[in-house]
Structure 1
Amino acid sequence: MVLNFTKNYTIPILPKRRDNLNKFSTYIMLTNQNNQLTLQWKHQPSLQRNLKLYEDKHPEFSNLFFHDDKGIDIVNFWRKVASDESQLIADWEPSNKIQLAYEHLASYFEEKCYWAAKDLCKERNANSWEEYLCIARLLVYNPLKLKEILVKYNSESANIDTYITNIITKHIKYSAEVNRFSRWRLLYKKSDKELIEALKVFGIIEPEISLIIFARKYFKQVYLINKVKNPNRTIGKKWIAPEEEDFSKSAQCYNVEKVLSTAPHEVFANFTKVTAKQIQDWMEICIKALESYPISIIPKFSLDAFQSEFEVRSELQTPEIEWEKISSSEDIREQGFLANQANSILSEQLQSMKLDERRILLLYYGFRLNQKQLADRLGINQSTISRYLTKSTIKLLEAIARISQPQQWVKGYVIRWLESEYHAPVHSDLIQAALVSAIKKLVKEEREILQLYYGERMDKIKIASQLGVSLNEIAIRLTQTKNNLQEKLIQEINIWMKEYLEKWLGNYYKSLLKIVLKNEAKSGNKELKLEEKIFLVEIYTQNQLS
């Protein structure tokens, strides 16, 4: 997705919002249509649900909701909710009712941000309305700042709309004059998670999202050294605009690092070298996405701890490893080719084991005793405990292997994936995530030929010419590489099955303990010794088997 960010200083028209539901649950979205910026209202589902909840449960609010007062009474309602932090929360109210109240107010004040920015641009004959709009929105979406503003409001001196508009106008003027606001600080400070969310809402999809995130990583490093930490910069101008040299250096770093195995798969699969112009365009897309999406500009700190909007936090982030992200997600762990059958098969296999085997698994996974503690408790040596655990887990792993039968389907799956999804794998799909991990374990020459054939879609004749080998050699290399990839995928699946089994056993026995101890608590037995707990769980499991 390529967007043209050539400045056009005709300020887009802001559409009107129809009713109170829209006035308190939508935010301004900047979009690019035919190289023209346009504005539209986007719904926040969480705010819509909250409005509907109060309409159903709160009679006073329900009456206000349909008043023809342009929303002023509802503004005052949410202002009272937000300001009274000591109030009791009704059973039906959300636990974050104060936070939601501030977000409803910020949604309503979006229009004031637009008009203040637009009027100020006309007054000053300036070409900065987008920057002014972002400054204003950063203010109203900061609950700490908004709280401070609302506390000082006096209803006798002005209505809330006029008061907020004046505050926003003054804030824009001050921020612009002392250079407190910087689009580049906004880009630099946001986490990858927030940026990815904003990019998705902005309409960017994979694999471009991964390319942009990777590019920002190196842009941030260059920008930090050349601008933020530059001892020659003017005091007070920490977040100045980058120059051509900064983008060029970022592109150099990107192109050097993209071929390494540590680079995200989507980056490696994109063979084209990036230019300084591409890095600059990507960073502009990031800024537009962040400016457009309110969640991405809401500060993540407590209402009770007032912190500076411009406090400097950690300068560099530690890069994440793709497989660690996959393997740490419990939701993803429950997906994939085993999810539908594994639970019942493993339960049956567990129940068919001998009593001694089940007891060791119970103590090891349920009560978290280590092997030495198990040996002491059962009066046998530690090596015997280890053999018991290994034997039991092998039985369970064989049961999973019978379900998955990877040898039968891996070959066809790998070929289909290379042809259709090599550029942008779905990381939430377990097998595709395992394939990405497997590709990273191939040698450089194998990764290169996959990149040329499936990434660049080059035919075998061109690849042979580029690599200086015969056409027959290319065919042989491709076949060998696909075979190696299939083998490494099976290895990854085996690793996953072991991890899956460890997690499954832990969750299985945790649930078992919870059921038994909950039943005992109901009967009045609250304090139980370890031996008593073990005895009760064993009795329970035997009853389940009989």
Structure 2
Amino acid sequence: MVLNFTKYDSIPILPKRRHNINKFSTHIVLINQNNQLALQWKHQPSLQRNLKLYEEKHQEFSNLFSHQDKAIDIANFWRKVAFDESELIADWEPSNKTKLAYEHLASYFEEKCYWAAKDLCKDRNANSWEEYLCIARLLVYNPLKLKEILVKYNSKSANLDTYIANILRNHIKYSAEVSRFSRWRLLYKKSDKELIEALKVFGIIEPEISLIIFARKYFKQVYLINKVKNPTRTTGKKWIDPDEEDFSKSAQCYNIEKILPTAPHEVFANSPKVTAKQIQDWMEICIKALESYPISILPKFSLDALKSEFEVKSELQVTEIEWEKISSIEDTKEQGFLANQANSILSEQLQSMKVDERKILLLYYGFELNQKQLADRLGMNQSTISRYLTKSTIKLLETIARISQPQRWVKQYVGRWLESEYHVPVHSDLIQAALVSAIKKLVNEEREILQLYYGERMNEIKIASQLGISFNEIATKLTKIKNQLQEKLMHEINIWIKEYLEKWLGNYYKSIIKKVLKN
């Protein structure tokens, strides 16, 4: 979406924030309202929670917060919190209180960014309003820069609002005059993770997000060579706007690479050949999303450089094979029933085994002895131990297979998935991820037929005409492809069943040992 403002009055009106909680926990976003651009305030839940926490726990803040005319005083309160260099922190305060304090201040200064950008457009080109706004927001969302500004503030000379407004106007003028700012540099420098986050907040969903990220990859390569590293460009000068040739070359790269197995499934499954105009439109959307979402604008180094305690969460994610992953039953109650049924039947199956078999399973899964240790302990050959284990697990695997019955539902699942979810698979779902992996391993002709039939919704006659293959051959190949996907999925399910059984046996025998030790 390209925004063009030709008159000062055409700049969208900024709605008022009437309550303190909104003044310190929202940021500006651009929206399309009745085919016209408008501004609205977007809530940031983490900031809202922090405000409510301080209102409840901090008496001075609570007194300020209850008066709607005390916004400047509240801003000064957060300035003190941000400047607090002591390592002392109250039991109730968040460990990242300094980071949150700067974010509250940035939220409050959003209005000042808007008015500074708008006021400068009175005497300058109104088309620059968006650029001016982004320049201002880049400043207030950089904690290091904001700290430098606030350190120099003297309350005797002017109030905080006036001081910040003057700083922002001067900063915008300077940046614009020396041509330092470039929206294309902003697009180029942001990571995929930051851009994906910004696109989601901007309202873009899959599969378009994957298409945009893939397109930016090739746009960056072309733009770097043609414009940034161009010998005619002086180092340090503003990154100039790309031209039609840049977008055209980006589209060429996109169209060549999208058919390769290394391309994301969404790209291969959804996009016919893209045009230079499409690449340009996507890049404009990226810029709008980045400019509209403060967190994505925030430089990563700034927060790391601040000498304060930040909340860091680094939890190890362990993938576990749960029962529902191999049952294909979508109803939660039935999943629970099948899980209980599996536990009951597997327990009964174990009890029906011979004593020697159960003893080996107990030592192997409960005490985690390896086969050699088992052979030494029981005075048996290791090959005998291996046969016992294999025989026992085969019985249990057959039991699980009878309950889950994958051979009964796999064919229907693959057909339904191709029809309804082929365009936008859920990669966190093990079954769908397995199907995507299987598609990437098909030969090029099979992948192309699949993409034309399920991606572009062509019928067999059109596909046959486009590929120069007979109608009957297309139908045969589609059937063959489905069968291949079913076989691949069955193979994966068998692996999951084995993993599930290994996990179940470990938990089962360790729980028995704990009970015995406890008693």
TM-score range, shorter chain: 0.7 to 0.9
> Over aligned residue pairs, what C-alpha RMSD do you find?
3.3
Equivalent residue number for residue 490 of structure 2: 490
Q: Distance in 2 between matches of 1:202 and 1:77?
A: 31
Residues 87-107 of structure 1: CA deviation (Å, up to 9, x unaligned): 522222222111111111111
Letter in 1 for 2:404: S
Equivalent residue number for residue 39 of structure 2: 39
- State yes or no: 1:117 paired with 2:117: yes
User: Match of 1:30, SS?
Assistant: strand
* Paired residues for 1:206-355 under 5 Å: 206-237=206-237, 239-301=239-301, 303=303, 305=305, 330=318, 336-337=325-326, 340=336, 345=342, 349=346, 354-355=358-359
Contact 2:21 2:48 in 1 (8 A): yes
* Paired residues for 1:42-81 under 5 Å: 42-81=42-81
User: Match of 1:438, SS?
Assistant: helix
User: Match of 2:198, SS?
Assistant: helix
- State yes or no: 1:356 paired with 2:388: no
What's the offset of the Cα at 1:270?
2.2
Q: Which moved more, 1:488-497 or 1:44-53?
A: 488-497
- State yes or no: 1:17 paired with 2:8: no
* Paired residues for 1:98-109 under 5 Å: 98-109=98-109
- State yes or no: 1:540 paired with 2:514: yes
Contact 2:6 2:126 in 1 (8 A): no
* Paired residues for 1:354-393 under 5 Å: 354-362=358-366
What's the offset of the Cα at 1:177?
2.2
Q: Mark the CA change 1:359 to 1:34 in structure 2 (over 3 Å): closer, same or farther.
A: same
Residues 296-319 of structure 1: CA deviation (Å, up to 9, x unaligned): 112223646269xxxxxxxxxxxx
Residues 312-348 of structure 1: CA deviation (Å, up to 9, x unaligned): xxxxxxxxxxxxxxxx964796674557555994698
Letter in 2 for 1:540: K
Equivalent residue number for residue 420 of structure 1: 420
Letter in 1 for 2:19: D
Q: Distance in 2 between matches of 1:302 and 1:502?
A: 47
Letter in 2 for 1:229: K
User: Match of 1:128, SS?
Assistant: helix
Q: Mark the CA change 1:73 to 1:390 in structure 2 (over 3 Å): closer, same or farther.
A: farther
How high is the TM-score relative to the length of structure 2? 0.84
Letter in 2 for 1:142: N
Q: Which moved more, 1:236-245 or 1:106-115?
A: 236-245
Q: Distance in 2 between matches of 1:393 and 1:92?
A: 52
User: Match of 1:301, SS?
Assistant: helix
Unaligned runs of 5+ in 1: 308-327, 513-536
Equivalent residue number for residue 320 of structure 1: none
Contact 1:346 1:399 in 2 (8 A): no
Contact 1:78 1:101 in 2 (8 A): yes
Q: Mark the CA change 1:383 to 1:252 in structure 2 (over 3 Å): closer, same or farther.
A: farther
Residues 187-210 of structure 1: CA deviation (Å, up to 9, x unaligned): 112121221111111111111111
Higher RCO (CA < 8 A, seq sep 6+): 2
What's the offset of the Cα at 1:173?
1.7
Equivalent residue number for residue 135 of structure 1: 135
Contact 1:247 1:279 in 2 (8 A): yes
Equivalent residue number for residue 312 of structure 2: none
Q: Mark the CA change 1:377 to 1:244 in structure 2 (over 3 Å): closer, same or farther.
A: farther
Contact 2:113 2:168 in 1 (8 A): yes
What's the offset of the Cα at 1:414?
1.1
Q: Distance in 1 between matches of 2:343 and 2:225?
A: 54
How high is the TM-score relative to the length of structure 1? 0.81
Contact 1:271 1:451 in 2 (8 A): no
What's the offset of the Cα at 1:386?
6.9
What's the offset of the Cα at 1:421?
1.6
Contact 2:439 2:447 in 1 (8 A): yes
Q: Mark the CA change 1:501 to 1:162 in structure 2 (over 3 Å): closer, same or farther.
A: farther
